[in-house]
């Protein structure tokens, strides 16, 4: 017996990186899994992600391990597409119990996205992907969970949404993730009477292909982390599994850092 037997979990941005690990972990916990990503083969862009993939897409990976899974290519900034997929998930599996609104990330170079020099196109794309994408995913999922009088929603913030990154760069991303945190708290207040918990995870520097492409000096980054190492996708998946599982039934409106102490110490 695993903790999520009989439940259904939706993960956005699940084709690579941390989201792929959420999908694999929630399936290991017993959930049927729905993966939405703008590109189910997005892992092909980075060597680190190619080396982690064991099949054509994460959907095939999960199928070959015997899990119940469906996948869709959609853009989380398109509310109709998100709503349509949530319908399909409920039709296929009969419920929607766990949502991880993970699709996100920043645009533009780490070195040149300071608050006073932000290009409008980086700002717009990053706010749309992280904030609007999260809101659309939650708004599509909430009515199904309200009807069930149960559910777990996990949004994905960042250390950058809680504290200013070294050098004060990636300002648009930090602002978007700070907005995700506040939205999460409003949603938690809204849905608490319906038996639905809403929490955010706030990762620090996690070892994904995307992160490696943005970081020139891994040792310099690690030197700034109290625990002295990058986080691994599994570190985030452990926290998501807890927030989705039976031990977190009375936890809502929280922002859980997974950052080796970076924003705390």
Residue 18 or 198 with smaller CB distance to ligand NAI: 18
What amino acid positions are annotated as catalytic residues? 173
On whether the CB atoms of residues 12 and 36 are closer than 8 A, the answer is: yes
CB of 198 to ligand NAI, least distance (A): 16
Residues at the site binding ligand NAI, with contacts judged by CB under 6 A: 12-13, 15-19, 37-39, 42, 75-77, 102-105, 129, 133, 156, 158, 203, 205-206, 208-211
Six token digits for residue 141: 């999922």
Task: Give the 3-state secondary structure percentages of the chain, helix then strand then coil, rounded to 5.
Answer: 50, 15, 35
CB of 193 to ligand NAI, least distance (A): 28
On whether the CB atoms of residues 92 and 35 are closer than 8 A, the answer is: no
CB of 119 to ligand NAI, least distance (A): 18
Residue 146 or 234 with smaller CB distance to ligand NAI: 234
Residue 121 or 148 with smaller CB distance to ligand NAI: 121
CB of 84 to ligand NAI, least distance (A): 14
- Which contacts (CB < 8 Å, 24+ apart) does range 109-118 have? 110/169, 110/170, 110/214, 110/215, 111/169, 112/169, 113/169, 113/170, 113/171, 113/172, 113/173, 114/168, 114/169, 114/171, 115/168, 115/171, 118/171, 118/172
Residue 2 or 99 with smaller CB distance to ligand NAI: 99
């Amino acid at each position: 017996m695993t903790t999520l037997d009989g439940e259904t979990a939706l993960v956005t941005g699940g084709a690579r990186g941390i989201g792929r690990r959420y999908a694999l972990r929630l399936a290991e916990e017993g959930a049927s899994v729905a993966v939405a990503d703008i590109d189910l083969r997005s892992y092909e862009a980075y060597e680190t992600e190619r080396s982690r993939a064991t099949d054509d897409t994460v959907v095939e990976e999960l199928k070959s391990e015997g899990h119940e899974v469906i996948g869709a290519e959609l853009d989380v900034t398109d509310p109709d597409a998100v709503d349509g997929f949530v319908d399909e998930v409920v039709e296929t599996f009969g419920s929607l119990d766990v949502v991880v609104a993970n699709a996100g990330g920043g645009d533009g170079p780490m070195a040149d996205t300071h608050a006073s020099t932000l290009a409008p196109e980086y700002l717009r794309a990053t706010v749309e992907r992280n904030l609007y994408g999260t809101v659309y995913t939650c708004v599509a999922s909430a009515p199904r969970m309200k009807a069930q009088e149960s559910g777990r929603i996990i949004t994905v913030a960042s250390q950058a949404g809680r504290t200013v990154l070294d050098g004060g760069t990636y300002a648009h991303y930090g602002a978007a993730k700070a907005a995700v945190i506040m939205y999460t708290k409003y949603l938690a207040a809204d849905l608490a009477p319906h038996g639905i918990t809403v929490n955010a995870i706030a990762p620090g520097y996690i070892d994904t292909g995307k992160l490696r492409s943005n970081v020139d000096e891994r040792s310099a980054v690690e030197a700034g982390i109290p625990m002295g190492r990058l986080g691994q996708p599994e570190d985030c998946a452990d926290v998501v599994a807890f927030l989705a599982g039976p031990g977190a039934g009375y936890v809502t409106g929280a922002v859980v850092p997974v950052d080796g102490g970076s924003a705390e110490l």
